[in-house]
């Protein structure tokens, strides 16, 4: 490997200690931390020169701004970044670990299912980050949107072989399907040719006049290399039982308020669910999507208001955290038998078999099952009583792409209502026909599509943040008329400042990189110069952010 070549990946969640999230991420760049510590101790000018040059090469002086930006993109506002790691759950600490490896900017970035612990907003941000990543990234993912927007090639592992395809996931999928069809066509032709030769040999082998020809055909058969029948990964489907028909509406909430420990998370709820509803809940983590799901699933009571449910209503609830609620030591069969004690063994095993639990795994302890197999078991448990409303909170995190497609098919055939919380845009777009936005303590219809919602999310990351990390946006109705001429003048002033600071930055970088810079200089003098460079870089970052925001305002107004 080249000198300084670094490989980085996320192996485990950030430790639950007293170190702040920001400092945890800064420490993830071990080379930077080591060099910064060495600056204090190094006495030889030549070594100091090497250290400062390397710090400049790895962009060490803008570290705090970069780390804060990455944490913000993954859902941590400014207050959260200053809090200690132990205050966050394992899923959130996985985000911190992800932020750390992204911040360290390794030459080879290794990511294994990076969106599993992210909400849609975090996944959109990660797509943008990876698409602009200047070094090499190798990603294992079943997230189609990530693979369509962030990668330039696909390495496909199948039948113990690796094949490389250039382009996005959709391009790979089309090319692979074409190859499968060609291979099947070639195999059908060869099978027909083989059958014809074998028939000739059987018919004429015993006839003296045809014996030589029969022998020739046999040799032809021996030389014929069989064409393997390429097959797609076969996965068991999902099949959800049809619920009994009930009088509409299934559920109505009026003037509802819900939360925890007498503290409201959502208020003024005016909601209705009917049997044919397919609703996706949008909104950042912490806004209340799971809280609303728990209310519908009868796992949280209303704090105020009224909720009407039609008689005999059944609700199925799948949540990712339930993976930890499976009983260790019990098998998939035992879990199902506990729910349906009156069903005979043949019926229960048939249910398991239809969900992908063959005889080889149905009796294994659940701790020996893969994440995808556990998710399938939980899906079966959530739907076994033919619910009228099926609530799915991040159902695809441990499912491969083929299983996700099988889930889409099953949900589109399912005759009950569906409420979906997912960062999987493909799942949302192919299943949901209504979008509800959960934000700022209220739930309201979102009239756009997923592309429009993603555009809002991306735009929100560019807006200036308040102390609590919220985007500073006035409601559209209250926005004053934009003075484009004034904005253009301010934009021109900003460009002058950026140009001036960029020149100063280049001058300082050239001075620090000069071979004689460290000759006769004190460590304080050197630190003063490098500190000045760090300040200029930080100011440039802020000015460029202001420039982008102002440019966006002008374009919007025009």
Burial track 46-84 (b if 16+ CB lie within 10 A, e otherwise): eebbebbeebbebebbbbebbbbbbbbbbbbbeebbeee
**Order of strands across the sheet with 389-393?**
315-319, 389-393, 417-421, 278-282, 434-439, 442-445
Closest CA to 410 of 236, 239, 244: 239
Distance CA 323, CA 424 (A): 19
Distance CA 536, CA 530 (A): 10
Distance CA 219, CA 488 (A): 82
pLDDT at 21: 93
Distance CA 407, CA 390 (A): 13
pLDDT at 234: 60
First to last CA, the chain: 51
Q: How many distinct helices (H) and strands (E) make up the chain?
A: 19, 14
pLDDT of 45 over the 90 cut? no
pLDDT at 284: 84
pLDDT of 388 over the 60 cut? yes
Q: What stretch of H or E contains 233?
A: none
pLDDT at 29: 84
pLDDT of 190 over the 80 cut? no
Highest mean pLDDT among 139-153, 320-334, 526-540: 139-153
pLDDT at 305: 94
pLDDT at 390: 95
Under the banding of pLDDT at 50, 70 and 90, the label for residue 6 is confident
pLDDT at 336: 92
pLDDT of 50 over the 70 cut? yes
Place of tokens 């760049």: 29
Closest CA to 119 of 551, 526, 503, 439: 439
pLDDT at 15: 85
DSSP state of 171: H
Q: What stretch of H or E contains 314?
A: none
Under the banding of pLDDT at 50, 70 and 90, the label for residue 464 is very low
404 vs 182 pLDDT, higher one: 404
For every residue of 25-68, DSSP letters joined together read HHHH-HHHHHHHHHHHH---HHHHHHHHHHHHHTTGGGHHHHHH
List helix spans (H) across 42-168.
Answer: 45-57, 63-73, 78-81, 90-104, 120-131, 144-150
pLDDT of 489 over the 80 cut? no
pLDDT at 468: 39
Phi, psi of 254 (to 5 degrees): -125, 125
pLDDT at 205: 63
Distance CA 507, CA 371 (A): 54
Per-residue pLDDT, averaged over 527-545, amounts to 78
Residues present in the chain in total: 558
Distance CA 70, CA 73 (A): 5
pLDDT of 263 over the 70 cut? yes
**pLDDT tens for each residue of 404-422:** 888 988 898 899 999 999 9
Distance CA 459, CA 280 (A): 21
CA torsion angle 10 12 18 22 (round to 10): 10
pLDDT at 39: 76
> CA angle, 454 as apex, 435 and 120 as ends, to 5°?
75
50 vs 380 pLDDT, higher one: 380
| Whole-Å CA distances, 207 to 202, 256, 396 | 10, 90, 64
pLDDT of 264 over the 70 cut? yes
Instruction: Please tell me the least confidently modeled range out of 327-336, 385-394, 418-427, 529-538.
Output: 529-538
pLDDT at 478: 41
What tokens does 207 get?
Answer: 């006839």
**pLDDT tens for each residue of 8-43:** 998 777 888 899 999 999 988 888 888 888 877 766
Closest CA to 406 of 451, 354, 338: 354
pLDDT of 479 over the 80 cut? no
| E strands, 128-201, in order | 136-140, 153-158, 161-166
**pLDDT tens for each residue of 498-516:** 888 888 888 887 787 777 7
DSSP β-bridge partners for residue 506: none
What tokens does 492 get?
Answer: 């021109």
pLDDT of 302 over the 60 cut? yes
List helix spans (H) across 205-331.
Answer: 211-223, 289-296
> Across all residues in the chain, what is the average pLDDT?
83
SS3 109: strand
Per-residue pLDDT, averaged over 276-303, amounts to 90
Would you call 114 exposed, middle or buried from its count of C-beta atoms within 10 A (0-12, 13-18, 19+)? buried
Under the banding of pLDDT at 50, 70 and 90, the label for residue 476 is very low
Distance of CA 129 to the CA centre of its chain: 12
pLDDT of 443 over the 50 cut? yes
DSSP state of 328: T
pLDDT at 467: 36
pLDDT at 474: 32
318 vs 208 pLDDT, higher one: 318
Q: Are 71 and 22 spatial neighbours (Cβ–Cβ below 8 Å)? A: yes
């Amino acid at each position: 490997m080249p000198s300084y070549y670094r490989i980085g990946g996320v192996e485990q969640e950030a430790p639950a200690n007293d170190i702040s999230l920001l400092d945890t991420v800064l420490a993830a760049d071990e080379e930077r931390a080591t060099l910064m510590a060495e600056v204090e101790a190094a006495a030889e000018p030549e070594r100091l020169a090497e250290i400062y040059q390397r710090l400049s090469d790895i962009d060490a002086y803008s570290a705090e701004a970069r780390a804060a930006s990455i944490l913000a993109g993954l859902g941590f506002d400014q207050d959260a970044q200053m809090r200690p790691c132990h205050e966050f759950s394992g899923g959130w600490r996985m985000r911190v670990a992800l932020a750390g490896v992204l911040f360290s900017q390794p030459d080879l970035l290794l990511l294994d299912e990076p969106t599993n612990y992210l909400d849609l907003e975090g996944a959109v941000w990660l797509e943008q980050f990876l698409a602009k990543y200047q070094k090499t990234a190798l990603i294992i993912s079943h997230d189609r949107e990530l693979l369509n927007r962030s990668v330039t090639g696909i390495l496909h592992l199948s039948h113990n072989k690796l094949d490389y395809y250039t382009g996005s996931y959709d391009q790979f999928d089309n090319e692979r399907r074409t190859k499968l069809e060609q291979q099947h066509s070639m195999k059908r032709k060869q099978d027909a040719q083989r059958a014809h030769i074998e028939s000739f040999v059987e018919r004429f082998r015993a006839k003296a006049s045809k014996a030589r020809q029969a022998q020739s055909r046999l040799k032809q058969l021996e030389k014929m290399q069989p064409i393997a029948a390429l097959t797609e990964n076969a996965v068991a489907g999902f099949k959800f039982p049809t619920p009994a028909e009930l009088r509409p509406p299934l559920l109505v909430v009026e003037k509802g308020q819900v939360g925890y420990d007498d503290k409201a998370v959502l208020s003024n709820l005016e909601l209705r669910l009917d049997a044919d509803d397919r609703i996706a809940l949008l909104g950042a983590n912490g806004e209340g999507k799971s809280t609303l799901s728990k209310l519908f699933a009868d796992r949280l009571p209303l704090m105020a208001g009224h909720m009407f449910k039609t008689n005999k209503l059944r609700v199925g609830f799948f949540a990712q955290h339930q993976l930890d609620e499976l009983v260790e030591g019990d098998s998939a069969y035992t879990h199902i038998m506990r729910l349906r004690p009156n069903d005979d063994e043949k019926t229960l095993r048939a249910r398991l078999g239809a969900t992908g639990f063959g005889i080889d795994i149905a009796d294994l302890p659940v701790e020996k099952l893969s994440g995808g197999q556990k998710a399938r078991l939980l899906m079966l448990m959530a739907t076994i009583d033919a619910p009228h409303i099926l609530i799915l909170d991040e159902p695809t995190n441990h499912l491969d792409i083929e299983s996700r497609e099988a889930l889409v098919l099953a949900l589109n055939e399912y005759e009950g209502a569906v409420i979906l919380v997912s960062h999987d845009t493909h799942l949302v777009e192919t299943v949901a026909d209504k979008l509800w936005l959960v934000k700022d303590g209220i739930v309201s219809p979102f009239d756009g599509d997923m592309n429009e919602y993603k555009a809002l999310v991306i735009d929100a990351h560019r807006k200036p943040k308040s102390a609590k990390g919220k985007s500073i946006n006035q409601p559209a109705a209250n926005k004053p008329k934009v003075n484009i001429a004034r904005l253009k003048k301010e934009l021109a002033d900003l460009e002058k400042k950026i140009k001036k600071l960029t020149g100063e930055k280049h001058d300082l970088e050239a001075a620090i990189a000069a071979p004689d810079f460290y000759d006769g200089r004190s460590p304080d003098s050197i630190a003063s110069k490098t500190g000045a460079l760090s300040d200029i870089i930080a100011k440039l970052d802020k000015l460029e952010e202001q420039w982008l925001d102002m440019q966006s305002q002008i374009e919007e107004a025009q």
